[in-house]
Amino acid sequence: MDYRVFYGEVADWIYESNQQAIKHGINSSEFWVWVAQTTGELCEKYGNNDLVEKQMEMLVDWLGDVLKSQK
């Protein structure tokens, strides 16, 4: 696995998650469907590699924390 490529994609995913949150709102179902779909796609792209899954799980948890902090 090319870690530089993967972490470049992670950075792109974080950027796009911010764009999706602006577009739909972080508390919208559209946003969370996007998160679930794209997280799954990225994990599958890398063969559900353990590091990839843990990285994406951490990012989803982080988004959940952001959502909780806004309530």
Q: What is the mean pLDDT of each run of 10 residues along the chain (71 residues)?
A: 97 98 97 98 98 98 95 75
What DSSP element (H or E) covers 41?
helix 29-45
pLDDT at residue 71 in the model: 75
pLDDT tens-digit readout, 37-56: 999 999 999 999 999 999 99
Model-wide pTM > 0.75: yes
Q: Residue 40: CA atoms inside 13 Å, Cβ hemisphere, count? A: 6
**Token pair for 3:** 């870690």
